[in-house]
Structure 1
């Protein structure tokens, strides 16, 4: 396996992040739109609004699990844009993330369509309709309720996405234990679904809505998917981006700016990682002086929840030692994949 990884493993970080975002939102669409298709095409026998909420929530959990350790698991242009505003994602990466998210959503729609093709053909005698009692375009994208105006729909999307961003930033800030973050993020979407789904089924994600909508346009539903609902299509694209900016700004000015400055702490990795209590400078220097000369010590600087490796004292003795040192960011906490040799990390925020 190690030989295969060395030969075929990607070295470019941006390509890894692209693939992670692509696969993450692919799963989100597969679970979420798949649940919607089952509810619609079975005429309520095998699904209902609650099962759709569960489907999207589980899809987001799995997307976060798959992509979280590589790209952060944004799977949403509004989330990526909020991270750019807060300095947690370089601006040059934003177009790459968005492209991956739209392509992943489009491909996920293809998978749902392929899986449900025969049921779609039987449901309305092969007619693919956008509006009406037997409409099936709503399986893939959002459409406004009859009572909803354009302005109210825009406000709906701004508020829903603002709540999403605020909650995601809070979870990231609290440093949830490994494996808990995806569950909490999924619960956020569940909460939004059961409280804010009345107007237009809470798309709150430009890629999740526009990617599948483009698919339906080319798959047989026609250009009516864009004109339906008084040209509704742009609202779940622009509204969430505005909500992303608002959510980032609110969290920055009301919460993040008022955090106390983090203090340096020491992380010792000998098979597993843990964070010790901060030490006094003189005590820390004394402890460092007692370390063996052949022990590998690395200074790690943390910036915008990313790892930047600084000074290295000592060198890995072989390729196995290098490969065993794998770091992944989880908010502001870090874990290693069981280094097989003594190594100390100095974490400086």
Structure 2
């Protein structure tokens, strides 16, 4: 009886939504960046596609696990898009900040778990490659947490790559969840894997340039862990770009789908159907 009382579900609907957002983002970061760590520090994955496949699985599982509770935004840029373009009784601007905080918390916890698991391998990698964690040259190990771009990629190119990638991702999400999309309205189970596959495809194209962030929570949470774990200022190098570019790109992609591709606003009956 004591155990049952300890796991009693929260009465507040918002509390359950926030827990779902945190849990879903935890899954994405823990599994997705875990694959990056596995590739860098353990040589367990070979090639970008193998890493991308793990991201496909992580995103698909996270959306499937939490979508019916919170809508599975799992990304601050996507939450802003829904508040901006599809406000409803169940989600509006009042929930954006709590959702973002939950997403960042889940991201921090997912990355912290990975650091605990891989800390020994990370130390060995740094010793082998002569990396001093607190130095400016520690991107070689810090890149397993946050994203970075290096020359010859310019700031402009990196910003455009992240903004475009997030625009395409948001556009696909809004297209797949649009009430006038007859294919996914009839076959809702297609949505999570199709979004996951979109992420995987974008990773293959954009990751060689910027490591393919597309999600401010996924990027910023691990940077917090990296900073606390000793990477100091290098942990946040360039972080502004991975926050701002997705925030710029996502509304463009989502607005194109809702306002142009599917021909404008829809009514409440369509939303319920």
TM-score range (shorter-chain normalised) is: 0.7 to 0.9
By how many angstroms is 1:223 displaced?
A: 1.4
Q: Distance in 1 between matches of 2:164 and 2:114?
A: 29
**RMSD (CA atoms):** 2.6
Q: Name which of 212, 216, 219 aligns with 2:229.
A: 219
Q: Name which of 180, 204, 229 aligns with 1:194.
A: 204
Q: Distance in 1 between matches of 2:77 and 2:168?
A: 12
Deviations 1:251-294 (A, max 9, x none): 222023358x77xxxxxxxxxxxxxxxxxxxxxxxxxxxxxxxx
TM-score, L = length of structure 2: 0.87
Aligned pairs for 1:64-213 within 5 A? 64-88=63-87, 89-125=91-127, 127-128=132-133, 135-173=140-178, 174=181, 175=185, 177-213=187-223
By how many angstroms is 1:180 displaced?
A: 2.2
More helix by percentage = 2
1:234 corresponds to: 240
1:41 corresponds to: 41
Compared CA separation, residues 45 and 64, structure 1 to 2 (3 A): closer
1:326 corresponds to: none
Compared CA separation, residues 35 and 304, structure 1 to 2 (3 A): farther
Q: Distance in 2 between matches of 1:70 and 1:130?
A: 43
TM-score, L = length of structure 1: 0.69
Unaligned runs of 5+ in 2: none
By how many angstroms is 1:45 displaced?
A: 4.8
Unaligned runs of 5+ in 1: 263-301, 306-331, 334-349
Compared CA separation, residues 79 and 134, structure 1 to 2 (3 A): closer
By how many angstroms is 1:134 displaced?
A: 7.8
By how many angstroms is 1:196 displaced?
A: 2.3
Q: Distance in 2 between matches of 1:250 and 1:211?
A: 29
Q: How many residues align?
A: 261
1:56 corresponds to: 55
More strand by percentage = 1
By how many angstroms is 1:179 displaced?
A: 2.8
1:294 corresponds to: none
By how many angstroms is 1:303 displaced?
A: 7.0
Q: Distance in 2 between matches of 1:304 and 1:30?
A: 36
Contact 2:35 / 2:45 at 8 angstroms: preserved in 1?
Answer: no
Q: Distance in 2 between matches of 1:81 and 1:303?
A: 23
1:257 partner SS: coil
Relative contact order higher in (CA < 8 Å, ≥ 6 apart):
2
Contact 1:67 / 1:73 at 8 angstroms: preserved in 2?
Answer: yes
Q: Distance in 2 between matches of 1:51 and 1:92?
A: 39
By how many angstroms is 1:178 displaced?
A: 4.0
Compared CA separation, residues 130 and 156, structure 1 to 2 (3 A): farther
Question: Which consecutive segments of 4 or more residues in structure 1 shift more than 4 A?
Answer: 129-134, 302-305
Compared CA separation, residues 119 and 176, structure 1 to 2 (3 A): farther
2:31 corresponds to: 31
Q: In terms of mean alpha carbon deviation, does 71-80 or 248-257 score higher?
A: 248-257
2:211 partner SS: coil
Larger-gyration structure (1/2) = 1
1:146 partner SS: coil
Q: In terms of mean alpha carbon deviation, does 250-259 or 202-211 score higher?
A: 250-259
By how many angstroms is 1:9 displaced?
A: 2.4
